[in-house]
Amino acid sequence: MQFTPYLNFDGTCAEAFAFYAKVFGGTIVYQGTFGEMPPQPDMPPLPESAKQRIMHVHLQVKDQSLMGSDSMPGADATCGGYQQPQGLWISIQAADTAEGQRFFDALAPGGQTVMPFAKTFWSPGFGMVKDRFGTPWMVNVATP
C-alpha cells in the first residue's frame, strides 16, 4: 500500500506542479485540463474560465507520487471549491542535511517559513514552510 497526497489549487496547479517537478527532480507523467475532458451528457456546460484549469496531474518522483488538480472557479467549498490546506502537512524525508536544506530553501521563497530548517533533538535537520502556492511542507532529515 502507498498513500499519495492529492493537492488542490485555485488555478495555479500547473505552475505548482512544474515547480515541484523541478524541486524534487520528478517527472509529470500525466496532466490534463478540464477543457480536455470528453463531454458527458449529464454534465452542465463547462465555464470558459475552467477550461485551462488542471483536472488531474500526476508527478512521479522515483517510487513516490504526488497528485493534484485545480478547483472549479466559483464553486462553493462544499461542492469542490477551493479551500486553503489546513490541519495537515506534507512531510518529506530527506536523505541527508544537505538535501533537506536544498528542499527547504527551494520551497520557502514567496511562502511562509513556519519553523526555520535547523537541527532538532530528533533530527539533524527539520523545518516547516508553506510554499508560495499555500502548500504546507515539513522537511525532515532521517536520523542515521
- Residue burial 8-34, b: 16+ Cβ < 10 Å; e: rest: bbbebbbebbebbbebbebeeeebebb
Q: What confidence tens digit (pLDDT) does each residue in 3-33 have?
A: 999 999 999 999 999 999 999 999 999 999 9
Q: What confidence tens digit (pLDDT) does each residue in 49-103 have?
A: 889 999 999 999 999 999 999 988 766 666 666 778 788 999 999 999 999 999 9
In contact, 68 and 6? CB cutoff 8 Å: yes
Confidence at residue 78, expressed as pLDDT on a 0 to 100 scale = 62
Confidence at residue 131, expressed as pLDDT on a 0 to 100 scale = 98
Phi-psi sector, 95: left (phi>0), alpha (psi -120 to 50), beta: alpha
In contact, 25 and 99? CB cutoff 8 Å: no
Residues of the chain with CATH 3.30.720.100: 1-81
Residues of the chain with CATH 3.10.180.10: 84-144
What does the DSSP 8-state code read for residue 82?
A: -
Question: What's the pTM value of the predicted model, to 2 decimals?
Answer: 0.91
> Which CATH class for the 1-81 domain?
alpha beta
84-144: CATH number: 3.10.180.10
